Structure 1
């Protein structure tokens, strides 16, 4: 019975994370419609994406810590409620500034829910099974990215922008009701002291973990940010095929999430060491064979699986540096991953404008080389070997 309850809890957490990532990423598919509806430029409309990410990065290390002493169920309901209100306001407002505010305010609470989801999922199972539970929650992250964009675009083009925004609210309402009805009360019996949190932030191993996450995430999302452009200009796919391949990448990401849970539970260090080497290999092959349609499609699928594994690795890398402060370390992970995405996209954007789109993989390879260096020092500092859990 307990096992069934734990499975249900992890499923609800996964769906809750999906609802939040769906709200965050789904608007990417309707940015042109938002720009047209509010009579702003596409770059101005893009503020609702970039400012959302900035809010997540800023609040990541702070708000999860502030809420860490409260009943976890109440906190999750509070955050989901804020996202519901934000989506409803976004649906009815005719003012672009109000739309931006309705997007950015919930974004500050994004790390609170996601941090709790990872923490609660890991705590709901035996310690050795924690990576597998977290991997299941990561499926919600990938699903939000994979399904949110095409679904919101389909709804908006079939009906209107209003109903696309209502779609975000409806999904979050389902997560809210499921949490209310089926998630047990989770009061915090022992709050971690501020001194412990400050001690965590003074650890060299934590800062090496943060650097590793920034470089690993930058390597994936820096290149992914321009994947559509790569497929269009280098491989010369038509836009319909590009959409299919982006969807394929996302599905492969979800497969990678599930594989990562087993790998990190059984072979953590070996997985972390091999990850950048595997991704460098894919990038070299993509650079070499990117002009050919069939090899490129195969490489996109393999890249998606490796990218999904990488998402779990980055979360594991930070949390294992401070297992005694999971809310704080998960918040730091979210901030680090967002910083990595921003930095990677900026560097690869400079490569696109300064050299050519084909060379974006070079930016990814450079980030991966830096990650190998930082991860080497991180592993050396912990003094752990294969077969043991990596803890800072």
Structure 2
């Protein structure tokens, strides 16, 4: 039902606004707390690390609970985090409250996707999941750049006020419009853990990890990169985030359609950006027109990355959607952690201009995983043909 997909999408906007809303204000946070940009980056990477470590276990643990209650509990924690963060607490407390919602983020995403496709035909599943994932792009075009702009003209804590407002709206919509959705048939832990023994799923997981690492080595420091490597001020950065997000909404819609045609080819097409962008950003130099074009292309190729990664992983184990998606979220966020960490080190030791080249290296590794999975699947297909004949 599309109604449930749009509700899931709104909650996803709240989730992404909280996780990535700090990207545009990391320089201001670093200045306020008198810390380095690499340390401030841990507000993003620690969040992602908690998801990576606990995501699959939390999803398994919550898999038997009413889906509506799970979604309400998750968004409530996001709201609590935003309210406390807006009070500019000591950095250790800001870090602590930042990681609290990370425990339930993959649970929310897996549950929202499951709710979105409940009762739908199989051929509509990718499209409905695409609607939920559009929440990522919508956050990038609305709440994230708005929060960054507001912080640039007011004060950095206002970014968290925006996060609190979005979480409140999502909480109300889920409470009033989503009916109770108890789980009627809970799968055993053993049946869900079985997917970890499938080589194609393991390879798909590595592809996800390498791809997200590639993108986030630069994207995590979007504001700092554009400021230091491209000479843009905070206001211009907020405009670039807005452009990035607008292109991303369209991009997610295109990706949703293309995934119904071919999951591997669609994933590979958008992954090509990790190889293309370092060259585009390098040769665009400080030419504003070329930089705007480059950022638009960047937004188009980056934005469906989580949608593509999840769909690519689920396509190897279609009967284990929730657990497979939680692993996609988990390893994707492990990629966010590694990408953010490597990006921070690169800024400290070499300079922000070198960050996209980290993406090139990990993008190539991700392409190798796609090729390896394709080889294994073709080999398995040949064995299926030979066995009946023999």
TM-score range, shorter chain: 0.7 to 0.9
Mapping of 1:154-193 within 5 angstroms? 154-155=149-150, 164-193=159-188
- Counterpart pick for 1:293 among 274, 288, 293: 288
Indicate the residue corresponding to 1:309 in structure 2.
304
Mapping of 1:239-254 within 5 angstroms? 239-254=234-249
Paired with 2:352 and 2:88, the residues of 1 have a C-alpha distance of 38
Mapping of 1:147-158 within 5 angstroms? 147-155=142-150
- Counterpart pick for 1:106 among 79, 101, 106: 101
Paired with 1:16 and 1:94, the residues of 2 have a C-alpha distance of 26
The Cα shift of 1:247 comes to 2.3
- Counterpart pick for 1:340 among 330, 335, 343: 335
**CA RMSD, aligned part only?**
2.9
Mapping of 1:63-102 within 5 angstroms? 63-91=58-86, 94-102=89-97
- Segments of structure 2 that go 5 or more residues without pairing to the other structure are 382-390
- Counterpart pick for 1:41 among 24, 35, 56: 35
SS of alignment partner, residue 60 of structure 1:
helix
1:55 paired to 2:50: yes
Indicate the residue corresponding to 2:256 in structure 1.
261
Alpha carbons of structure 1 residues 359 and 87: separation in structure 2 relative to 1, 3 Å:
closer
Paired with 1:36 and 1:362, the residues of 2 have a C-alpha distance of 27
Alpha carbons of structure 1 residues 243 and 152: separation in structure 2 relative to 1, 3 Å:
closer
Contact 2:10/2:170 (8 A) holds in 1: yes
Alpha carbons of structure 1 residues 309 and 18: separation in structure 2 relative to 1, 3 Å:
closer
SS of alignment partner, residue 61 of structure 1:
helix
Paired with 1:226 and 1:29, the residues of 2 have a C-alpha distance of 8
Alpha carbons of structure 1 residues 280 and 89: separation in structure 2 relative to 1, 3 Å:
closer
Indicate the residue corresponding to 1:390 in structure 2.
none
Alpha carbons of structure 1 residues 98 and 288: separation in structure 2 relative to 1, 3 Å:
closer
Contact 1:25/1:148 (8 A) holds in 2: no
1:366 paired to 2:358: no
Paired with 2:79 and 2:223, the residues of 1 have a C-alpha distance of 31
Paired with 2:221 and 2:79, the residues of 1 have a C-alpha distance of 31
Deviations 1:37-84 (A, max 9, x none): 7x5636565544332222222221110111111111111112122223
Paired with 2:303 and 2:26, the residues of 1 have a C-alpha distance of 26
The Cα shift of 1:324 comes to 1.7
Indicate the residue corresponding to 2:267 in structure 1.
272
- Segments of structure 1 that go 5 or more residues without pairing to the other structure are 1-5, 386-392
Paired with 1:12 and 1:146, the residues of 2 have a C-alpha distance of 18
Relative to the length of structure 2, the TM-score reads 0.86
